[in-house]
Amino acid sequence: MVGALALGVVAGVLTEEPVKANNPDVFNPGMIISNELFYEPSTMTLAEIQTFLEQKGASCNDATCLKNYRGPAISQTPDRYCQAVEGGTLSAAEMIYRVANACSINPQVILVILQKEQSLLTTTSEWGHKAAMGYGCPDGLPCAGQYAGLFTQIYWGSRQFQIYRQRPELYARKVGVPQEIQYHPDKACGSQTVTIENSATLGLYLYTPYVPNAAKLAGAPDKCSSNGNYNFWNFYKSWFGNPLGGEGSMAMDDRLAAISALGAKVGNTPCLPKATECSQQYQNGAVYWSKSYGAWEVIGSAYQKLQAAGGVSSMGYPVGALGPVAVGSGNPGAGKTPTINAQQFAGGLVVVDGGTSYAVKWPEKGEADLERGLLFGAADGSIKTGAATALKDTDGIDRIPLTAVARGDVSGDGEINLTDLVKVGRHLAGKESLDGVYLQAGDVLRSGQVDLTSLVRIGRHLAGKETL
């Protein structure tokens, strides 16, 4: 609940039903939810909000149930905290969606507050609509009548969180400063020293200024337990996942903890729980995360070259950190494999080696095996086994020499024919020996050996029964 005055200290939540602790050791009073999630309005579409209301309100059949409700919404003009909101007769989902986007608040946050304040997602009541988000309803005092009504509550309650965010000088509580937060409106219940870590958590404490005590966290609340901020965390975690962010956000934070060379963050790009790829820019580079390859930083010259090559939309996401990459000569007997300093991406390689930097993309046809210095491909006339080739950089310059291996082309003429079948047969019979890249060409399955299966597959290719 929150008082209507912008400078007013807000009230606690004492009327919700107790919620059993859910992994209480995870609850962090200094960061209840990340800024990235709290202020991200794009987490749900209008249809997804309506579906969520229907799921949570499955047992509610009254016309005032949020899933069924349609009511008046007063148009709001834009100000520094929210953009304009078009009014009308709207569904509850439309109200939530429009306000979330206008005030840059996660609609999931609005849904959670509606539930933790008045249990509106699962039940309904006339009073519940009037005080839906607890805005203008200080502890021990009547709610301010001018803020009564579902839309009014959603709009002014959401707008208030932007005031907390944009005008922190108005409030005594600050981010980054150890401060006492009471367990309960009764001061005799005591308090806890909390260092609030971000503006989203600061807003929650300004809206509901109590921290759960040990009894609440242990699942056995006592007379000094308050529910509000614990319930916010618990509902959010149960319904939408980790309130500190999705898998990518956590992975990038872990990676960032060991890096200082990136510099300050540039802007804010949230990594939402459903994301499979995301990134965050910094002064000297970026951290990229993908579900396939994890989180990796790209810094300095490597980042500049990546951007010049079209960024991750062109090169793909990084698969590892900048470091030594083996580049063989294509000749297994050439001795020690040299290395270059490079960073691998799903679609290519960025090399930063001494004073040289360039980006190469993986070939559109074939597969490069850098460590062995080979380019594997089909014997379709585009490459010939044993031919010298190279990976070109994005400017068209030959950079990394490779030796071509066309599957099945053991004779090196660029095609699969009877000669290749005979040569593989003679190799198996011990009458001649395939070696080097020609032995690699005979290993049509890349199994590590030339065997009877290789002979059969080449024969089937020649018979038109399969294509290598």
CATH number for 444: 1.10.1330.10
Question: Residue 312 in contact with residue 306, Cβ under 8 Å?
Answer: yes
Residue numbers of the domain that contains 291: 247-314
64-69: long-range contacts, CB 8 A cutoff, minimum separation 24: 64/124, 64/125, 64/126, 64/129, 65/124, 66/92, 66/93, 66/114, 66/120, 66/121, 66/124, 67/92, 69/129, 69/150
- 188 with 288, same domain: the answer is no
| β-pair partners for 348 | 345, 361
* CA distance to 198, 243, 441, per residue, from 279 (Å): 20, 18, 40
User: What is the Cα 440 distance to its own chain's centre?
Assistant: 41
Highest mean pLDDT of the ranges 170-174, 362-366, 421-425 = 170-174
- 154 with 228, same domain: the answer is yes
Total domains, the chain: 3
- 57 with 166, same domain: the answer is yes
Residue 4, in any domain of the structure = no
Residue 348, in any domain of the structure = no
Taking the C-alpha atoms of residue 336 and residue 342, their distance in angstroms, rounded to an integer, is 18
Question: Residue 103 in contact with residue 110, Cβ under 8 Å?
Answer: no
pLDDT tier, 36 (very low <50, low <70, confident <90, very high otherwise): confident
Residue 326, in any domain of the structure = no
pLDDT tier, 352 (very low <50, low <70, confident <90, very high otherwise): very high
pLDDT score at 327: 86
Residue 17, in any domain of the structure = no
- 450 with 430, same domain: the answer is yes
Is 234 in a helix, a strand, or coil? helix
pLDDT tier, 1 (very low <50, low <70, confident <90, very high otherwise): low
- 282 with 378, same domain: the answer is no
pLDDT tier, 22 (very low <50, low <70, confident <90, very high otherwise): very low
Question: Residue 153 in contact with residue 133, Cβ under 8 Å?
Answer: yes
Q: Residue for token digits 């600050």?
A: 174
Q: Give this prediction's pTM.
A: 0.64
pLDDT tens figures, 376-434: 988 888 889 999 999 999 999 999 999 999 999 999 998 999 998 999 889 999 999 98
Query: With pLDDT > 90 as the criterion, what percentage of the chain qualifies?
Result: 58
Residue 335, in any domain of the structure = no
pLDDT tier, 25 (very low <50, low <70, confident <90, very high otherwise): low
Residue 20 has pLDDT above 80, yes or no: no
pLDDT tens figures, 216-272: 999 999 999 999 999 999 999 999 888 887 778 778 877 877 677 888 888 777 777
